[in-house]
Amino acid sequence: MVEDSVPAQEGLAQGSPAPGSPTQGSPTQGSSAQGSSALPDARPASPRELTAAIADAARLACVLTDLLTTLREPTRRLAGAGAAASLEVARRRSEEALMELEIALGDVRAASGRTIQPNG
């Protein structure tokens, strides 16, 4: 788990978000608040809510990719080539996740209005 490997910030309990951090607020808060950086609702009840949740997840993946891109040079300079290589792998994976989320979003939008029958 990532929380266990990251030291707690001074004055904050382990796992508590820092004030103004992207995870501050309810982790299941939907995308109703414009500009909210809370996590998307994990249990959307309608195609519209699902579309909004996947779009929010794609935005978060984009922010993560940008952050990891920004951290590339400082990581190489301050922590060395090994840490920089690990960060690069994480950046590529976040970029791949973004692409997959965009594909899923297109599929959900295409399926809106259709009833999808489960197999079996």
- Report the number of secondary-structure helices (H) and strands (E) in the chain: 3, 0
Q: Residues 23-47: what's their mean pLDDT?
A: 59
Task: Say if 85 falls within a structural domain.
Answer: yes
Is residue 38 included in any domain, yes or no? no
Kindly compute the dihedral angle of the four CA atoms of residues 6, 3, 80, 72, in this order, to the nearest 10 degrees: -120
* pLDDT tens digit sequence for 51-108: 999 999 999 999 999 999 999 999 999 999 999 999 999 999 999 999 999 999 999 9
The crossing angle, in degrees rounded to 10, of helices 81-111 and 47-79 is 170
**17 located within any domain:** no
pTM score, whole prediction: 0.62
Domain that holds residue 71: 47-110
C-alpha to C-alpha distances, 110 to 32, 48, 103, nearest whole angstrom = 22, 12, 11
1 in any annotated domain? no
More confident residue, 54 or 39: 54
Helix (H) or strand (E) holding 77: helix 47-79
Does 54 fall in a domain?
yes
Q: Which residue has the tokens 């400082």?
A: 74
Work out the mean pLDDT of the chain and round it to a whole number.
76
Structural domain count, the chain: 1
Amino acid symbol at 3? E
The answer to whether the CB of 30 falls within 8 A of the CB of 41 is yes
Is 102 within a domain? yes
**Residue 81 lies inside a defined structural domain of this protein:** yes
**Residue 49: closest CA among 29, 35, 65:** 29
pLDDT at 64: 97
5 in a domain, yes or no? no
Specify the pLDDT at position 17.
40
